[in-house]
């Protein structure tokens, strides 16, 4: 091919490249602002006229610019259509979808009158997933407080979106939408340390219609640290692994922020197999990350149900269902008010474990009784020794030796452990749970620490020395011998 022909071909290729329409590059997700469409309805009963509404909205925009800034781009929709006629708790994602346009979020906000002031209610639709958040609410005492409380309501509704990245060392990395944008104040940070995300699995459809969105229940991600636009998160899992890829259908995992909602948390526990209600089980809760101590939340009723009041916890909480005194039957994380629906949890009781722990409780009670008796006798022996009451000391030692000896408790404890291991082998089920083993070790420590016989042996030695001293013949003193002569 001649040099002229090559030049001609190169010219044609360059011409075609320049003639091809250029596709604009989209910003990476961490530099993408949240486009938010707001459907804000003032009930006529509020008696706030058009001028007053305009002033409230202007002040609210100013506050969002002052405290949030670039991550939010808010557009207030004027035509609400029939939406104000639907109670906000009854809204469906399909009701808000037509108003979304090209937005990332749709906020439905209602301002209603109250006997003293106003009530604010709001819900957020995440357009990309079609996920409708739960109702958030605030009470407002005075019209002048509306802009500030609207900002607080918006912050409570706002659920940041994130792409789930690689999992490493028990954690996972997120790239949060808007995470690299500058914020006007710390209040407006998109996903600060401590933020909680829920896991959603998206199943696309071949015909291009709306994908199926499935919540991964009882699985959450907590932001432990931020490295620029990347959020390093702890995986908090309950009944499964949110990162598993064991699905036949094509899917992707996404994360969406979640906060406590102002509604009860309804749970029902059923026994595995016959699905009978798990009645009379204790439920305790502990904040995540763990607080100073767990809190008793109540007991399941005869139908296995328990209802936790709104605000029973300030954030993500670990719920533990206990059988007997201490044996945990299930342990799962829950966000207060995350759904208005009752959630059913199937549990597997462990009768062999409970029977073992009942024997262990009886043994521990016996040990504690002996420890208390030993303490009383040791105090009596010390008093007798200090007063050189040797007969009283001998009697106290005899009474002490009538107590159940340490070797008896050790033998019973070893038998309980051996029975548990044998039952595990025979039944092919877990009997010595982590909690049961911890109680066995705790009981062994109780025996080692408080049933030591060093103290009683020292009193016995003192009594023997005193007895020997009394039995030894007395030698007359030198002066007494001379007088006798």
Query: Highest mean pLDDT range out of 52-66, 239-253, 282-296?
Result: 52-66
Strands 252-257 and 265-271: unpaired
Residue 161 · residue 36 · CB < 8 Å: no
pLDDT of the residue at 435: 74
Return the CA Rg of the chain.
Answer: 36
Residue 53 · residue 38 · CB < 8 Å: no
Q: Can you tell me whether residue 90 is helix, strand or coil?
A: helix
Give the chain's count of helices (H) and strands (E).
10, 19
Cα(461)–Cα(2) distance, integer angstroms: 117
Reported as a pLDDT band with limits 50, 70 and 90, residue 476 is low
Residue 165 · residue 172 · CB < 8 Å: yes
pLDDT(382) > 80: yes
Residue bearing tokens 């002033």: 55
With pLDDT > 70 as the criterion, what percentage of the chain qualifies? 89
pLDDT of the residue at 329: 80
Summarised one tens digit per residue, pLDDT across range 68-111 is 999 999 999 988 888 888 999 899 999 998 888 889 999 999 99
Summarised one tens digit per residue, pLDDT across range 397-452 is 888 888 888 889 899 989 988 988 888 888 787 777 777 788 888 888 888 888 88
pLDDT of the residue at 75: 93
pLDDT of the residue at 423: 81
pLDDT(304) > 90: yes
pLDDT of the residue at 325: 62
Q: What is the mean pLDDT of the chain?
A: 84
pLDDT of the residue at 484: 52
Residue in 100, 133, 218, 223 with CA at minimum distance from that of residue 173:
223
pLDDT of the residue at 281: 87
What ranges in 20-49 are assigned the alpha helix state H?
A: none
Summarised one tens digit per residue, pLDDT across range 354-371 is 677 778 778 888 899 988
Summarised one tens digit per residue, pLDDT across range 177-204 is 999 999 999 999 999 999 999 988 888 8
Helix%, strand%, coil% for the chain, nearest 5? 40, 30, 35
Maximum Cα–Cα distance across the chain:
153
pTM over 0.95: no
pLDDT of the residue at 478: 58
- For residue 66, how many C-alpha atoms fall within 13 Å in the half-sphere facing its CB? 9
Residue in 223, 147, 215, 149 with CA at minimum distance from that of residue 190:
223
Cα(248)–Cα(232) distance, integer angstroms: 29
Residues whose CB falls within 8 Å of the CB of residue 451, separated by 6 or more in sequence, listed in order: 367, 370, 371, 374, 406, 409
pLDDT(477) > 70: no
Residues whose CB falls within 8 Å of the CB of residue 403, separated by 6 or more in sequence, listed in order: 370, 373, 374, 377
Cα(364)–Cα(358) distance, integer angstroms: 10
Summarised one tens digit per residue, pLDDT across range 144-168 is 999 999 999 999 999 999 988 877 7
- For residue 368, how many C-alpha atoms fall within 13 Å in the half-sphere facing its CB? 8
Residue 56 · residue 46 · CB < 8 Å: no
Residue 332 to residues 4, 142, 198, 318, 321, Cα–Cα distance (Å): 74, 41, 14, 6, 9
């Amino acid at each position: 091919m001649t040099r002229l022909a090559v030049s001609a071909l190169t010219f044609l290729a360059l011409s075609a490249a320049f003639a091809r329409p250029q596709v604009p590059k989209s910003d990476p997700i961490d530099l993408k602002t949240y486009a938010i469409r707001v459907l804000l309805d003032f009930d006529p009963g509020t008696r706030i006229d058009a001028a007053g509404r305009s002033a409230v909205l202007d002040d609210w925009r100013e506050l969002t610019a002052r405290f949030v800034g670039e991550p939010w781009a808010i557009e207030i929709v004027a035509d609400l259509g029939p939406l104000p006629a639907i109670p906000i708790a009854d809204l469906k994602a399909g009701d808000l979808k037509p108003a979304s346009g090209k937005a990332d979020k749709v906020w439905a906000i209602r301002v209603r009158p109250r006997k003293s002031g106003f009530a604010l209610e709001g819900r957020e639709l995440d357009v990309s997933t079609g996920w409708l958040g739960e109702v958030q609410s605030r009470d407002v005492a005075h019209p002048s407080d509306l802009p500030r409380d609207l900002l607080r309501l918006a912050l409570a509704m706002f659920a940041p979106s994130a792409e789930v990245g690689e999992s490493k060392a028990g954690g996972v990395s997120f790239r949060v939408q808007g995470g690299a944008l500058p914020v006007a104040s710390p209040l407006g940070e998109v996903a600060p340390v401590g933020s909680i995300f829920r896991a959603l699995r998206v199943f696309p459809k071949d015909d291009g219609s709306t994908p199926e969105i499935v919540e991964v229940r009882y699985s959450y991600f907590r932001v432990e640290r931020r490295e620029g636009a990347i959020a390093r998160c702890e995986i908090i899992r309950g009944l499964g692994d949110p990162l598993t890829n064991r699905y036949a259908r094509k899917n992707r995992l996404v994360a969406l922020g979640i906060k406590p909602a102002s509604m009860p948390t309804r749970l029902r526990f059923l026994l595995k197999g016959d699905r009978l209600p798990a009645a009379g089980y204790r439920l305790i809760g502990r904040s995540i990350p763990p607080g100073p101590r767990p809190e008793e939340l109540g007991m399941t009723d005869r139908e296995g149900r328990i209802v936790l009041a709104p605000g029973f916890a300030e954030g993500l909480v670990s719920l533990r269902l206990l059988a007997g005194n201490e044996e945990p039957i299930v342990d799962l994380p829950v966000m207060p008010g995350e759904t208005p629906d009752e959630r059913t949890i199937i549990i597997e009781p462990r009768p062999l474990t409970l029977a073992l722990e009942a024997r262990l409780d009886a043994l521990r009670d016996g040990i504690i009784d002996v420890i208390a008796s030993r303490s009383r006798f040791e105090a009596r022996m010390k008093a007798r020794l200090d007063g050189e009451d040797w007969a009283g000391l001998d009697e106290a030692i005899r009474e002490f030796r009538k107590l159940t000896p340490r070797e008896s408790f050790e033998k019973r404890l070893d038998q309980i452990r051996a029975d548990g291991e044998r039952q595990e082998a025979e039944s092919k089920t877990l009997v010595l749970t982590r909690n049961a083993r911890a109680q066995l070790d705790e009981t062994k420590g109780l025996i080692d620490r408080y049933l030591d016989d060093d103290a009683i042996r020292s009193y016995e030695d003192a009594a023997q020395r005193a007895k020997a001293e009394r039995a030894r013949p007395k030698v007359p003193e030198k002066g007494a011998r001379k007088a006798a002569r």
